[in-house]
């Protein structure tokens, strides 16, 4: 999404382009020429038309089949332990499994775990790896499943090949991989993926001028490193605030996650820890090569493509500002899941809605509370049920992420109208908390508010110590 400068605003702008293409398309949805949903931030053009579409990967081909009968949750009996809560009774008209043992229906994937029993699965981002999932989950949180071609079922146990006697070879694969990676690191740090579809897409917007921080001018590389350190500080301080269990933290939680914040605070803490670990890895040996420089005539600060397994940041060299880039980088890295060369797995956050204090007048709320982090007041109004269609339209003309988030959580059809989805969102505190804790803007600004709280506590403690002396 494009970032537009906000003159007079006290908060940095961090609306960046992101490949947030949903895994399915709403009926009647018309993508842009290359199948990319629009994602445009226009705070000063609320009533005007949209911005240019952003390319992304083509959507999956449509699948035609008969109506799928409602899957029934099976009683917790013959299914293996941790799969019991995911087990569904297979409808008679479910499409047959393909050669990989996958049954695909309406862009959802099911696998057989026993005769007549199926489980919904989602691919984790690692090729060929599938985890059990619930419809209400944004990302697959269940155990990894493995396909057994002989029985044509999926289980928790990895299938073991039966070697012929006398032909067993004992090889430490992990040690071999480490050696290859070490040799590769000595010779060539640039990741695979050069000139791939993501770089091609970015190059359509401007000129690709740098791969890796070493190819940026020294002063620009220094800004990126400094802003990455600022991102780490945000998440680290937020983590300290969470660990200290400050009484004032409850007010921050309620501002960003609503009255049902107790149900999602642990997930927020997990996302903060993941964000801190990611910001460190981006400063490490493999992270330096994940920053690509683009010269683009716009005020987009930075963006990444969610489906890019390499986790690369595309930095607009014409819009690099200290104090602004850090929140943008923190927002974007929260979108990641698995990244090659990294041990950390990102929280896979989505873009359901954005936070901007200048657009608070479009919310259904009389006045916004004023905080050190202005975005907190906006989120507080939204979490109290003040979201409006006008506010959502101020950022983008494509609302599939929000619509799918509402429909998935409530288990209703995918053809919701935007106003109906907003009404459901405003009426359901649990839904609001669920979407907010999986929303990149809510996470990064909640972390920043927790950082502010933590530093104020440290400052007051220091002043108290001076008085005691």
Tell me the per-residue pLDDT of 64-107, one tens digit each, with 9 for 90 and over.
444 445 444 444 444 444 688 888 888 888 888 888 899 988 88
Q: Is residue 112 part of a domain?
A: yes
* CA proximity to 421, closest of 434, 433, 440, 408: 408
Which pLDDT belongs to residue 157? 87
Q: Cα angle at 9 between 443 and 421, to 5 degrees?
A: 45
Is residue 17 very low, low, confident or very high in pLDDT (cuts 50, 70, 90)? very low
Q: Are 15 and 4 in contact (CB under 8 A)?
A: yes
Q: Is residue 146 part of a domain?
A: yes
Q: Is residue 462 part of a domain?
A: no
Alpha carbons within 13 A on the beta-carbon side of 124: 18
> Is 400 or 204 the better-scoring residue by pLDDT?
400
Which pLDDT belongs to residue 407? 95
Q: Is residue 363 part of a domain?
A: no
Q: What are phi and psi of 214, to 5 degrees?
A: -65, -20
- pLDDT of 13 > 80? The answer is no
Q: Is residue 319 part of a domain?
A: no
Distance between CA 387 and CA 443 in Å, rounded?
Answer: 18
Tokens found for residue 44: 């000063």
Q: Which residue has the tokens 């600004």?
A: 445
Give the pTM: 0.63
Which pLDDT belongs to residue 7? 39
> Is 31 or 165 the better-scoring residue by pLDDT?
165
Number of domains in the chain: 1
| Distance between start and end Cα atoms, the chain | 53
Cα dihedral value 408, 414, 415, 418, nearest 10:
30
CB proximity list for 316: less than 8 A, separation 6 or greater: 206, 294, 295, 296, 298, 299, 300, 301, 302
Q: Is residue 41 part of a domain?
A: no
Q: Is residue 270 part of a domain?
A: no
Cα dihedral value 439, 443, 444, 448, nearest 10:
150
Instruction: Report the share of the chain in percent with pLDDT over 90.
Output: 49
Q: Is residue 394 part of a domain?
A: no
Distance between CA 146 and CA 139 in Å, rounded?
Answer: 18
- pLDDT of 194 > 80? The answer is no
CB proximity list for 338: less than 8 A, separation 6 or greater: 124, 125, 126, 309, 345, 346
- Domain of 97 in residue numbering reads as 81-155
């Amino acid at each position: 999404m494009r970032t537009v400068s906000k003159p007079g605003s006290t908060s940095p702008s961090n609306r960046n382009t992101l490949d947030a293409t949903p895994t399915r398309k709403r009926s009647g949805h018309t993508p842009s020429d290359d199948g990319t949903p629009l994602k445009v931030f226009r705070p000063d053009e609320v009533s005007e038309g949209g911005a240019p579409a952003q390319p992304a990967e083509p959507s999956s081909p449509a699948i035609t089949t008969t109506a799928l009968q409602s899957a029934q949750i099976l009683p917790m009996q013959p299914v293996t332990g941790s799969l019991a809560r995911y087990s569904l009774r297979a409808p008679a008209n479910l499409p047959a499994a393909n050669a990989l043992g996958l049954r695909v229906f309406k862009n959802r994937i099911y696998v057989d775990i026993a005769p007549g029993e199926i489980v919904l699965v989602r691919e984790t981002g690692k090729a060929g790896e599938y985890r059990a999932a619930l419809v209400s989950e944004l990302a697959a949180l269940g155990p990894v499943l493995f396909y057994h071609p002989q029985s044509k079922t999926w289980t928790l146990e990895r299938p073991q090949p039966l070697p012929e006697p006398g032909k067993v070879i004992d090889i430490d694969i992990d040690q071999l991989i480490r050696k290859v990676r070490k040799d590769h690191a000595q010779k060539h740090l640039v990741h695979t993926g050069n000139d791939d579809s993501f770089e091609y897409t970015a190059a359509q917007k401007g000129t690709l001028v740098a791969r890796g921080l070493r190819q940026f001018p020294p002063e620009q590389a220094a800004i990126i490193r400094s802003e990455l350190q600022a991102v780490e500080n945000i998440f680290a301080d937020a983590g300290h605030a969470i660990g200290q269990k400050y009484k004032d933290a409850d007010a921050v939680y309620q501002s960003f996650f609503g009255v049902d914040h107790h149900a999602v605070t642990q997930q927020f803490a997990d996302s903060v820890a993941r964000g801190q670990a990611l910001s460190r890895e981006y400063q490490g040996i493999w992270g330096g090569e994940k920053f690509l420089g683009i010269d683009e005539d716009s005020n987009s600060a930075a963006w990444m493509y969610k489906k890019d397994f390499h986790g690369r940041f595309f930095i607009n060299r014409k819009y690099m500002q200290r104090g602004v880039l850090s929140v943008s980088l923190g927002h974007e890295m929260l979108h990641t899941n698995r990244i090659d060369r990294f041990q950390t797995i990102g929280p896979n956050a989505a873009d359901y809605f954005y936070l901007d204090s200048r657009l608070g007048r479009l919310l259904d709320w009389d006045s916004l509370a004023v905080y050190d982090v202005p975005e907190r007041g906006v989120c507080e109004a939204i979490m109290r049920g003040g979201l409006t269609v006008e506010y959502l339209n101020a950022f983008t003309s494509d609302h599939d992420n929000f619509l799918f988030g509402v429909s998935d959580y409530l288990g209703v059809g995918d053809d919701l109208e935007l106003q109906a989805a907003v009404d459901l969102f405003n009426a359901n505190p649990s839904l609001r908390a669920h979407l907010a804790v999986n929303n990149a803007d809510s996470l990064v600004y909640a972390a920043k508010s927790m950082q502010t709280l933590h530093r104020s506590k440290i400052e007051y403690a220091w002043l108290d110590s001076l008085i005691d002396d």
